[in-house]
Amino acid sequence: MAKKIGILTSGGDAPGMNAAVRAVTRSALTKGIEVIGIQRGYVGLLNKEFVEMNARTVSGIIQRGGTCLYTARCPEFRNMEGVMKGKAVCDELGLEGIVVIGGDGSFRGAGDLSNAGIPCIGLPGTIDNDIQCTEYTIGYDTAMNTAMEMIDKLRDTTQSHDRCSVVEVMGRKAGYIAVNVGIAVGAEAVITLEREYDLDAIAAKMVKVKNSKNGKHHFIIVVAEGVGQTENIAKSLQEMTGIESRVTILGHVQRGGSPTLRDRVLATEMGYHAVELLEQGIGNRIVGLKDGKVYDIDLQEGLAMKKPFLDHRYDVFYDTAY
């Protein structure tokens, strides 16, 4: 039975991380487990940047974006020397487990530390929803809602000027945000890494729609960041259609802001589940969502899984986007 655990946030931040920190802290305290906050991810573990967590240190954070524990990337933790140094710090402090909130990179570190003898539980915290073994990651819903609100504003000016706005949404390796946001804002095209795209066809569709009876004169094209061609896409579409185009890169604004209800609730349930595992001395697991329910899976097995893309949703989008 664990009596003292640590918690850290690592990699890119995501709205809802604070809700997870609060849930882990409060559910551990309820079980009589002491909680140590580790600041700046694995960097703080190696540098011993600790804060004691109590019921009040997590008061008033459930509605706040960012992470109260700060986050960082720690190249040193990618090799065994760094991991063993981390294990020594845990032993020194008497930590019997750590909850790691982050993405797949952070989980690999958690797996290494688990193998070194410190049970770690990974909680999926990334706006990209690109963790293989879970249907949902903390921050995804808030980021999509932020992008949707921003693009709704963008449509106003795009429409006034009869322009085409090519909007880049986040997603380094994944187009989940792009597809959902594309549907939600009524975009005319969505371009992602997962599906082939044909700029000639998109341009032809724009011209056809523009020239149709009661034609539409403005267009929103959503591009996932990972495609890496946003400027070129805008330039090509302008050349091919003659419609004046502008690029908007939404960027890190999508990572901030108050988490949605969905993010707060799932972060809370996932945090609670992580403590239940650590309480029993179980580590090397990822907590995720499967068929709408919180579950856990072996860390390495979870990372090796392949996540399906939103193929059906993508097709639904294209049949309703004109």
Q: Known catalytic residues? A: 128
The contact mask relative to ligand F6P for 169-188 (x = CB under 6 A, - = no) is -xxx----------------
Q: Is 105 in the site for ligand ADP (CB under 6 A)?
A: yes
Q: Which amino acid is at 302?
A: G
**Alpha-carbon gap, residue 136 to 32, rounded angstroms:** 30
Stretch that binds ligand ADP, among 1-9, 106-114, 177-185, 189-197 (CB under 6 A): 106-114
96 binds ligand F6P (CB under 6 A): no
Q: State which of residues 112, 225, 263, 279 lies at the interface with ligand F6P (CB under 6 A).
A: 225
Residues in a beta bridge with 124 = 102
Q: Which does 16 bind (CB under 5 to 8 A by kind): ligand ADP, ligand F6P, none?
A: none
φ, ψ (nearest 5 deg) of residue 165: -100, 120
Site string for ligand ADP, 49-88 (x = CB under 6 A): ------------------------xx--xx----------
Q: How far is the CB of 139 from ligand F6P (least distance, A)?
A: 8
Q: What does 102 interact with, of ligand F6P, ligand ADP, none (CB < 5 to 8 A by kind)?
A: ligand ADP
User: What does the block give as tokens for 2?
Assistant: 């664990």
Cβ distance to ligand ADP smaller for residue 104 or 194: 104
The single residue among 96, 104, 112, 128 that binds ligand F6P, judged by CB under 6 A, is 128
Q: How far is the CB of 55 from ligand ADP (least distance, A)?
A: 28
Q: b or e along 104-121 (b: 16 or more beta carbons within 10 Å of the residue's beta carbon)?
A: bbbbbbbbbbbbeebbbb
Name residues whose C-beta falls within 8 Å of residue 293's C-beta, 6 or more positions apart in sequence: none
Q: Which residues bind ligand ADP (CB under 6 A)?
A: 10-12, 42, 73-74, 77-78, 102-106, 108-109, 112, 126
